[in-house]
Amino acid sequence: MRHYEATGCNTCPLKPECTRAKGNRHMRVSFRLRRYREQAKNNLLSEQGRFLRVQRNVEVESVFGHIKHNMCFRRFSLRGLEKVKTEWGLVCMAHNMRKLAG
């Protein structure tokens, strides 16, 4: 990660829109993060990535839409990871039972 500091911010007319710092603007740039983002973008735009995105639209998004809209499930009632996992399991079981029944 690299750290950069601008110079002469106090005399710049755009300083209020650029930074709230009392002195010059400080920036950190992570080149590793940039590489990861570029790799993720390439994966999404590849032929296999496009295929998987289309499959997600067909297979997964409709399930979440059904759970949110038809079952009125928009937020968890319980707190804590284990309790949320249990609640989500019950929602999934209810969804699967509705699929089997109809």
Q: Model confidence over 38-79: pLDDT tens digits?
A: 999 999 999 999 998 888 777 777 888 999 999 999 999 999
User: Does a structural domain hold residue 53?
Assistant: no
Q: Average pLDDT in the 31-36 region? A: 95
Are 97 and 91 in contact, with CB atoms under 8 Å apart?
no
Q: Which two tokens stand for residue 72?
A: 């009125």
Q: How many domains does the chain have?
A: 2
What values do phi and psi take at 41, rounded to 5? Answer: -60, -45
- pTM, rounded to two decimals: 0.46
User: Does a structural domain hold residue 75?
Assistant: yes
80: left (phi over 0), alpha (psi -120 to 50) or beta: left
| pLDDT reported for residue 59 | 73
User: Does a structural domain hold residue 25?
Assistant: yes
By residue range, what is the domain housing residue 96?
A: 59-102
User: Does a structural domain hold residue 84?
Assistant: yes
User: Does a structural domain hold residue 52?
Assistant: no
Do 66 and 99 share a domain, yes or no? Answer: yes
With vertex at residue 38, the alpha carbon angle to CA 36 and CA 40, rounded to the nearest 5 degrees, is 70
Spatial separation of the C-alpha atoms in residues 90 and 28, rounded to whole Å:
44
Do 40 and 67 share a domain, yes or no? Answer: no
Residue 1 binned pLDDT confidence (cut-offs 50, 70, 90) = confident
